[in-house]
Amino acid sequence: MNGSRGRLLSVVTILLACAAMIGAVAPAGAEVREVRLAKQYGLGYLPLIIMEEQHLVEKHAKAAGLGDIKVTWATLGGGGAVNDALLSGSVDYIASGVAPLIVLWDKSKGAAKGVSALISTPNYLNTNNPAVKTVRDFTDKDRIALPTVKVSIQAIILQMAVAKEFGQENFSKLDRLTVSMKHPDAMAALLSNRSEVTGHLTSPPFMFQELDDKRVHTVLNSYDVLGGPHTFNVFTTTKAFHDNNPKTYAAVFAALEEAVAYINKNKKAAAETYRKASKTKESLDDLIKEISQPSLSYTTTPLNITRFSDFMYKTGTIKTKPNSWRDLFFSNVHGKQGS
């Protein structure tokens, strides 16, 4: 796994540099006629679902004088998959957890950065093993599902929790128990009680759905691990796209801000949109309750990013330490009260 990950990340700079060179020779003033965006599963990506369903990118592009641009969407599973999509040039924007952004920024030497945050919400590590009360209780008989081993935000949260429990030098002690699975598949495995998966480090709505089963309980809450609220998901693009398509970039960000404002003002309608788009069997009342949790906040302001980057630098996951959270994001969010 380490070797394949290393080979993948080693081509990041080359790929993004090529993208920048291609973009640099575009005719002056010419912007893309198609914007391709990728999201993932769960309520953490609700702003993007709203953008897609309400055609907000198209709306703001037209208002910016860009005419009728084509907007295409893809739904992928895991930070590794969306990073691959961006690096291959299959998409222009991706949404992922904080950790994959930090890795991408580091390996590309800043050629990929965050557009903004999407949501602040805790992630829960849930288990169906009654013997497991803390991370110290997991054994070789357990398997912990998360989107991508070692690099997803859930993988880093687990490492941070383990470092607190066993000491910084033992941060990777439970990595051997982790397996990569999409959240819907991991939840199904955990609730089946017939899988090797006994733990799932996950996000809304999956963490709430799992707790509806009386056999499942929570081992850790990421807000406790981080010492407070933190950004969960971020929106990312390349410097080449940002620099060569300023009007389109501004239109996409305006669409995102409108989507976030819509969710915060219209939780029921937003929940209805999610239910229809995701085809979840969860009730509308439950979804409204989940997105109304005090611990959950849809916001474009990056929060507690530095805690992640500092930890990842100390453990060698990244080679360059950002001077501040602003190093990881484009300037459109630099004026926000982030951390």
Same-domain check for residues 272 and 184: no
Q: Rounded to an integer, what distance in angstroms lies between the CA atom of residue 255 and that of residue 257?
A: 6
- Note the pLDDT of residue 83: 81
* % of the chain exceeding 70 in pLDDT: 91
- For residue 25, pLDDT beyond 90: no
Same-domain check for residues 165 and 216: yes
Tokens of 289: 């309750």
Question: Does residue 92 belong to any structural domain of this protein?
Answer: yes
Residue pLDDT, tens place only, 93-136: 999 999 999 999 998 999 999 999 999 999 999 999 999 999 99
Q: Rounded to an integer, what distance in angstroms lies between the CA atom of residue 14 and that of residue 108?
A: 8
Same-domain check for residues 16 and 104: yes
- Secondary structure (H, E, C), 202-223: ECCCHHHHHHCCCCCEEEEEHH
Same-domain check for residues 201 and 105: no
Using DSSP, how many helices (H) and how many strands (E) does the chain show? 15, 11
Q: What is the mean pLDDT of the chain?
A: 91
Q: Choose the final residue of a domain: 177, 200, 226.
A: 226
Same-domain check for residues 165 and 87: no
Sign of the CA dihedral 107, 159, 151, 218? negative
- For residue 316, pLDDT beyond 60: yes
Nearest to 51 by CA among 235, 208, 293: 235
- Read off the pLDDT band of 265 (50, 70, 90): very high
Helix, strand or coil, per DSSP, at residue 297: strand
Question: Does residue 338 belong to any structural domain of this protein?
Answer: no
Same-domain check for residues 203 and 154: yes
Q: Rounded to an integer, what distance in angstroms lies between the CA atom of residue 242 and that of residue 216?
A: 44
- For residue 23, pLDDT beyond 90: no
Q: Choose the final residue of a domain: 226, 252, 272.
A: 226
Q: Rounded to an integer, what distance in angstroms lies between the CA atom of residue 319 and that of residue 326?
A: 17
- The CATH number of whichever domain residue 328 belongs to comes to 3.40.190.10
Same-domain check for residues 206 and 61: no
- For residue 91, pLDDT beyond 90: yes
- Note the pLDDT of residue 75: 86
- With tokens 């992640």, the residue in question is 308
Same-domain check for residues 74 and 206: no
Question: Does residue 235 belong to any structural domain of this protein?
Answer: yes
Check if the beta carbon of residue 132 is closer than 8 Å to that of residue 138: yes
Cα–Cα distances (Å) from 121 to 3, 184, 298, in that order, read 32, 18, 8
Same-domain check for residues 107 and 234: yes
Question: Does residue 339 belong to any structural domain of this protein?
Answer: no
Show the domain range for 62.
2-120+230-333
Q: Rounded to an integer, what distance in angstroms lies between the CA atom of residue 105 and that of residue 328?
A: 7
Q: Choose the final residue of a domain: 177, 201, 226.
A: 226
Cα–Cα distances (Å) from 182 to 52, 146, 282, 328, in that order, read 22, 7, 18, 26
- For residue 47, pLDDT beyond 60: yes
Q: What is the pTM of this model?
A: 0.87
Same-domain check for residues 135 and 208: yes
- Note the pLDDT of residue 187: 97
The number of folded domains in the chain is: 2
- For residue 178, pLDDT beyond 70: yes
Calculate mean pLDDT across residues 16-29: 45
